[in-house]
Amino acid sequence: MPAPFLLDRSLASVWHPCTQMKEHEQFPLVPIVRGEGPWLIDADGRRLLDGISSWWVNLFGHCNPRINAALREQLDTLEHAMLAGFTHEPVVELSERLAALTGHRLGHAFYASDGASATEIALKMAAHYWRNLGRADKTGFVSLAGSYHGETVGALAVTDVAIFRDAYAPLVRAGHTVPCPDARSASEGESATDVARRAAAALEAHLEQHHATTAALIVEPLVQGASGMVMYDPEYLRLARALCDRYEVLLVADEIAVGCGRTGTFFACEQAGIWPDLLCLSKGISGGYLPLSLVLSTDTLYQAFYADTASRAFLHSHSYTGNPLACRAALATLDIFAEDDVLKTNRARSALLGRLLDERFGAHARARHLRRRGMIAAFDVPYTQPDFPRRFFAAGMEHGVLLRPIGNTVYFMPPYVVDADQLTQLADGALAALEKA
């Protein structure tokens, strides 16, 4: 099917996500026909370097031979079985291996498909936990300014991104937001750690007043993705953990974007030396292959649901919970982490990306706040037009790189298979795009 027809058919029949469809009257969709390592290949044979891991999900490249092989084998063995009353090897092995990765601090895994569902589960579990303990008043949630935890109606309660929330505000039982420890907000002479302490003091003031009605604090550890790769000091997580303990509030770590090695450690929380009570994973956990999300919980939390009565149980389910194919993709992904010492090779990749960006944008008149944590890097472009993201994207595409700024923030989140040449192309493409956008 020639590409133009595919585009017309797509516009006629597919309602594309996060898109004002009318804008596609002027800006064509990009028909992707094949994936290969860090490349997406379009219908004209054009190769695009996937600088954002296809919306942050891809870890080891497209059509990774090892994940493909694992999936083929699983496909001929068991494609799906319900998980209520039944179990299977892939879900058990995945749960055991994830528990081991947390040092068995988070020993129970509850499964869903998308990130937002994991947020829903964590929020429901947190409130239900307190209810089971006889403290049914603890139903409130606290999140950071600029937080993003998904876009379903429940998750919007803790998502502080106006464009996603405003139209649905009447449907949402909004939680409280507390200041974000955004390192960019440091005033003269203040360090990122000082900013973290200042934000933690605000959290403390909030919890002091509201702890009796607060079930949980939910955070994106170290990097707030959707609000523009906002980075903050691990000290905030240490202080937040201590405050949650002191005020009897659960800590939920939404590692949907930052987990699976994105920030340099497998879990971002490791860099603060803390563990949450609930941890959400999705996106990269299946290598970017299949929708899979999960919530890891402590034994303490799990035990509060373990009883003789159904009403104390966590009565929540999704049809595809624990899907064997998705779990198998996740196991193949964890195999690659173990066999290739990925976190170590990523340290070199991240350092190189840092050097390349520093050379081009460190002193660039249109780049501010160049920042990096693990395999995420970003800078801000002051004084842009509202259509800057689209212009930058289009200019990047002309240079064979796929980059989609968030507002005036240009960011890089490449898959963990990019080599030095590809990282250089990404940095050069961004520089060329910035000149044009």
Ligand X SMILES: *Cc1c(COP(=O)(O)O)cnc(C)c1O
Is 104 annotated as ligand-binding?
no
Displacement of CA 2 from its chain's centroid (Å): 35
DSSP letter for 184, please. Answer: G
For ligand X, the closer CB: 143 or 298: 143
In angstroms, the CA 203 to CA 148 distance is 18
For ligand X, the closer CB: 218 or 250: 218
Stretch that binds ligand X, among 65-73, 132-140, 147-155, 298-306 (CB under 6 A): 147-155
For ligand X, the closer CB: 98 or 218: 218
In DSSP terms, which residues pair with 293 in a beta bridge? 112
| Token pair recorded at residue 36 | 């290969």
Stretch that binds ligand X, among 31-39, 72-80, 115-123, 243-251 (CB under 6 A): 115-123
In angstroms, the CA 21 to CA 104 distance is 46
Q: Which of 61, 115, 322, 324 binds ligand X (CB under 6 A)?
A: 115
In angstroms, the CA 326 to CA 91 distance is 9
Instruction: Let me know if 172 is exposed, middle or buried by CB neighbors in 10 A (0-12, 13-18, 19+).
Output: middle
The verdict on 58 binding ligand X (CB under 6 A) reads no
Is 129 annotated as ligand-binding?
no
Instruction: Give per-residue burial for 319-334: e unless 16+ CB within 10 Å, then b.
Output: ebbbbbbbbbbbbbbb
Binding mask 237-256 for ligand X (x = CB under 6 A): -----------------x-x
Contacts of 344 (CB under 8 A, 6+ apart): none
Query: Phi and psi of 344, rounded to 5°?
Result: -70, -50
For ligand X, the closer CB: 119 or 321: 119
Is 387 annotated as ligand-binding?
no
Task: Report the site for ligand X in 278-337 (rule: CB under 6 A).
Answer: 282-283
The type of residue at 269 is: C
If phi over 0 gives left and psi between -120 and 50 gives alpha, with beta otherwise, what is residue 289?
alpha
Binding mask 65-104 for ligand X (x = CB under 6 A): ----------------------------------------
Closest chain position to ligand X (CB): 115
Task: Report the site for ligand X in 183-222 (rule: CB under 6 A).
Answer: 220
Is 348 annotated as ligand-binding?
no
| Token pair recorded at residue 228 | 């523009």
| Token pair recorded at residue 155 | 């998750």
Q: Which of 90, 154, 221, 225 binds ligand X (CB under 6 A)?
A: 225
Stretch that binds ligand X, among 114-122, 135-143, 312-320, 396-404 (CB under 6 A): 114-122
Q: Which residues fall in the annotated binding site for pyridoxal 5'-phosphate?
A: 115-116, 254, 318-319
Q: Which residues fall in the annotated binding site?
A: 55, 115-116, 148, 254, 283, 317-319, 404
Residues at the site binding ligand X, with contacts judged by CB under 6 A: 114-116, 119, 148-150, 220, 225-226, 254, 256-257, 282-283
